[in-house]
């Protein structure tokens, strides 16, 4: 998933997302370049919760964010890295390494997990999705897939 989602250039935002998402991502990138301390930590949470933002790798190379990789705020870096390259199952297996996710963050990570799986396999069996997303009922899984479609997660990522 990493190379498929990383931006084509060093500047934010990626080509292929809608204008609103592009503007929002550009604003977050500009803020992340200068934010420090508690402001940076709050910005990371905002980025993770933002409904139109589905690319995170470019944030990880920003100097102030890179500094979070070790130390008391490593969970912020780890969570951002998880959204850039990880899956929902990885979050559940080592949740102590990450921030506590809000419902919006969990949904977004589930959507990104579907995209990750779709990049590797064009046809994903329900059994695999149920396992990877740790969902027990097919109807709930279908709801998550529908939400991802309406959120344009699948179309945004397909643009790459």
Same domain for 141 and 105: yes
Same domain for 50 and 23: yes
Q: Count CA atoms closer than 13 A to 18's CA, side-chain side.
A: 10
CA angle, residues 76, 11, 105, in degrees to nearest 5? 30
Is 4 part of any domain? no
On the question of pLDDT at 124 being above 70, the answer is: yes
Same domain for 79 and 107: no
Same domain for 43 and 74: yes
Is 13 part of any domain? no
Nearest to 133 by CA among 112, 147, 154: 112
Q: What is the mean pLDDT of residues 22-51?
A: 93
Dist. CA 6–CA 151, nearest whole Å: 19
Which H, E and C letters describe 72-129, residue by residue?
CCHHHHHHHHHHHHCCHHHHHHCHHHCCCCCHHHHHHHHHHHHHHHHHHCCCCCHHHH
The pLDDT, as a whole number, for residue 12 is: 44
Is 51 buried (19+), middle (13-18) or exposed (0-12) by CB count in 10 A? Answer: middle
Count of domains observed in the chain: 2
Same domain for 76 and 94: no
On average, the pLDDT of the chain sits at 85
Domain that holds residue 105: 89-159
pLDDT per position as a tens digit, 83-122? 999 999 999 999 999 999 999 999 999 999 999 998 888 8
CA angle, residues 148, 53, 150, in degrees to nearest 5? 25
Same domain for 146 and 106: yes
Is 7 part of any domain? no
Global confidence as pTM: 0.81
């Amino acid at each position: 998933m990493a190379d498929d989602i990383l931006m084509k250039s060093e500047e934010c935002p990626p080509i292929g997302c809608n204008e609103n998402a592009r503007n929002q991502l550009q604003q977050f990138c500009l803020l992340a370049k200068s934010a420090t301390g508690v402001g940076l930590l709050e910005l990371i949470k905002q980025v993770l919760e933002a409904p139109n933002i589905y690319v995170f790798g470019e944030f990880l190379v920003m100097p102030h964010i890179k500094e979070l990789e070790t130390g008391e705020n490593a969970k912020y870096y780890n969570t951002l890295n998880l959204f850039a390259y990880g899956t929902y199952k990885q979050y559940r297996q080592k949740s102590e390494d990450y921030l506590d996710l809000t419902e919006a963050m969990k949904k977004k990570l589930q959507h990104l997990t579907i995209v990750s799986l779709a990049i590797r396999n064009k046809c994903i069996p329900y059994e695999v999705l149920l396992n990877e997303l740790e969902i027990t009922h097919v109807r709930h899984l279908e709801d998550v897939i529908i939400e991802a479609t309406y959120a344009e997660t699948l179309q945004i990522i397909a643009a790459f």
